[in-house]
Amino acid sequence: MKKVIIFGVGNFSSLAWYVLSHDSAYEMVAFTVDAAYIDKRSHHGLPVIAFENLIETYPPEDFALIIPLGPRRVNALRAERYLKAKAMGYSFVSYVSSRALIWPDLQVGENCMIYEGVIIQPFARIGDNCILRSGCNISHHADVADHVFIANGALIAGKTKIGERCYLGLGAIVRDNVTVADRCILGAGAVVVADTEADGLYVGVPAKRRALPAE
C-alpha cells in the first residue's frame, strides 16, 4: 500500500483526505504545509509537517505526495508546489473516484483529482496536476493541459483544447473544436463559442473577454 502525504490543511485538502481514505488503496500518513502557515500540529488525526523539512521525516523514496490545492492565482500556487516537490524527488498519486464515469484506457497525468460524477469520454486526455470537480463532463478527443481546475458542472465539448493553468467556473461550457488559451478564467455559466486569448477572463453568453483582476 502506497503511503501518501497531502499538501495543505484547507477545505480541498480535507476533502482529498476523506475521499482517498474511503475510496482508494492509499494510506494517508501526514499533511504538509509551508512552515509559515503551520498553526496546528495535527489535522484529521495526522501530523502536520513543514514542507521545507519534509524530506527529513518522509523521504521521497518511501512516500508519495498529492497536492489538491484550489485555483488560487489561476492555479499558480498548486503548480509551484507541484514543481517544487517534483524537484525534491517526490512522486505523486492521482485519484479517480470509483463513482466517476470513465473508460479503462483514460489518460490521466500525475497529481490529479477526479471526483464523483465526472464523465470523461474516450480519447480525452487529462494532463498533470489537474482537479476535476464533481459532475463536470469532458467529451471525446478533448485535451486538458497541465495545472487546470474544472469546477462542478462544467462541460467541455468534443475536440476542445484547454490550456495550462486554466480555471473553468461552475457550469461553464466550451463548444466543440474551441481552444481555451493558457491561464484563462471562464466565469460561472460562461459559454465559450470561439478560441480565447491567453490571460483573459471570459464571462457571459456568449462569453466576452474581460481583463483579469490584479493579484
Of 77, 92, 107, which closes a domain?
A: 92
Gap between the Cα atoms of 119 and 61, Å rounded: 34
Q: Within this chain, do residues 23 and 119 fall inside the same structural domain, yes or no?
A: no
Residue 215 domain flag: no
Nearest alpha carbon to residue 146 among 92, 94, 69, 75: 75
Q: Are residues 99 and 88 both part of a single domain?
A: no
Give residue 213's pLDDT. 67
State the pLDDT at residue 214: 66
The predicted pLDDT at position 212 comes to 72
Strand pairing report for 46-50 and 137-138: unpaired
Domain CATH code at residue 37: 3.40.50.20
130, 150, 76, 52 alpha-carbon torsion, rounded to 10°: -50
Contact between 83 and 65 under an 8 Å Cβ cutoff? The reply is no
80 and 184 inside one domain: no
pLDDT of amino acid 211:
77
Q: Please check whether residues 118 and 200 belong to one and the same domain.
A: yes
The pLDDT of residue 1 is: 80
Q: What is the pLDDT of residues 60-77, one digit of tens each?
A: 999 999 999 999 999 999
103, 42: one domain:
no
Average pLDDT, the chain: 97
Range of the domain at 25: 3-92
pLDDT of residue 215: 60
Mean pLDDT of 97-119: 97
The last residue of a domain, from among 92, 119, 137: 92
pLDDT tens for 126-154 read: 999 999 999 999 999 999 999 999 999 99
Using only the alpha carbons of the chain, give its radius of gyration: 17
Give domain status of residue 37, yes or no: yes
pTM of the model: 0.96
Catalytic site residue 147?
no
Same domain, 16 and 86: yes
Mean pLDDT of 80-85: 98
Question: Going by DSSP bridges, is the β-strand pair 200-203/173-174 parallel, antiparallel, or unpaired?
Answer: unpaired
- Give tens-digit pLDDT for 90-99: 999 999 999 9
**Does 76 lie in the same domain as 22?**
yes
165: in domain: yes
Same-domain check for residues 111 and 28: no
- Residue 206: its pLDDT value, please? 98
Based on the structure, what is the number of domains in the chain?
2
Place of cell 480525452: 124
CATH number for the domain that contains residue 118: 2.160.10.10
User: CA dist 209 to 39, 156, 202, 214, Å?
Assistant: 40, 18, 5, 15
- Domain match, 86 and 99 both: no
- Domain final position from 68, 92, 116: 92
Indicate whether 138 belongs to any domain: yes
Indicate if 27 and 102 belong to the same structural domain: no
Are residue 102 and residue 197 in the same domain, yes or no?
yes
Q: Examine the domain organization and report whether 137 and 47 are in the same domain.
A: no
Residue 182 in any domain: the answer is: yes
Catalytic residue among 44, 140, 141, 147: 140
